[in-house]
Amino acid sequence: MSETEDFKPKILIITNLKCSDPGADYVGQSHLEYTPNAFIMRTKDPSVFPEEFYFYCFEQGFDGVIIMSGGTDTPFKGAYEALAKMIDNVYVSMQERGIEIARLRLTAICSVCAEAFIKEMGRIVEAVEPLGPIKV
């Protein structure tokens, strides 16, 4: 994180119950650390969200949103494919509305992917930091 700037991006982490949420637990169990300015909201599966939902998150002041899905490990059939398609559409709308697409990130985190979790958190912070606070 940049020391000179004061901006610490506020990140929303969307996890799913079976994969990335236990993965986030595993991060803690493994004594790994990441920015505390990131907040986990667990879901049964992130494929539940319509496009507008992501804009709602930005409107509420989140500078970045990272979706930690279970990828193909998700326990639900067809859910990951639907989610990936949805996020593609969200990216198009973001561009239309002038929001940098780097603010939204779709990843797959498994229940023991502590290192990947940390890496992905690093990536979104790195991507959002230069963009500055969200303006909607």
Partner 1 sequence: MSEKKKVDEKNEEKVAVFICHCGGNISDVVDCEGVAEWAKKLPNVVHSEDYAFMCSDPGQKLIEEALDKGATRAIVAACSPRLHELTFQNVFRRKERNPYYFEHVNIREQVSWSHPHTKDEATEKSKRLVASGVAKVSLQGFLEAPTVEATKKTLVVGGGLGGLRAAKDLADKNVPVILVEKSPFLGGRVTQLDTLYPKDDDAKELIHELIEEVLSNELIAVHTNSEVTSFAGSIGNYDLTIKHTPRGVTSKIGEKAAKAIDICPEVVENEYDYGLTKRKAIYQKYPGSYPSYPAIDWVNCTKCGKCAEVAEGITLENDPTEQSINVGGIVLATGFKPYEPYEGEYGFGQHPNVITLPQLIRHLADNPSEELIWNGKKVERAALIHCVGSRHREDIDKPLEDGSLNYYCSRYCCTATLHMANELKDKFPDMHVFELFKEDIRSYGWGYEDYYTTASEKNVRFFSFLGEELPQVEITEKKHPLSITVTDRLTFNETMIIPTDLIVLAVGMMPEEIPDIIDMMKVPQGAERFLLSVHPKLRPVEADVDGIYLAGTVQAPMTSTEAAIGASGAAAKAAILMSKDIIELQPYVAEINESLCKGHMTCLPACSYAGAIYEAEVDGKTVARVNPALCKGCGTCVPSCPEGAIQVKGWTLDQYKAQVKALAQDPSEV
**Where do contacts with partner 1 occur on this chain (CB under 8 A)?**
10, 12, 18, 22, 24-29, 31-34, 36-37, 39-41, 43-45, 47-51, 53, 56-57, 60-62, 73, 75-79, 82-83, 86, 110-112
CB of 4 to partner 1, least distance (A): 19
CB of 100 to partner 1, least distance (A): 19
Is 111 in a helix, a strand, or coil?
Answer: coil
57 in Cβ contact with 19 (< 8 Å) = no
Q: Kindly tell me which of 78 and 98 has the beta carbon lying closer to partner 1.
A: 78
Q: Kindly tell me which of 22 and 128 has the beta carbon lying closer to partner 1.
A: 22
Sorted by sequence, the CB contacts under 8 Å of residue 129 that are 6+ apart come out as: 1, 2, 5, 7, 9
Sorted by sequence, the CB contacts under 8 Å of residue 81 that are 6+ apart come out as: none
* Alpha carbon separation from 11 to 37, 74, 75 (Å, rounded): 6, 23, 25
CB of 126 to partner 1, least distance (A): 18
Q: Kindly tell me which of 25 and 129 has the beta carbon lying closer to partner 1.
A: 25
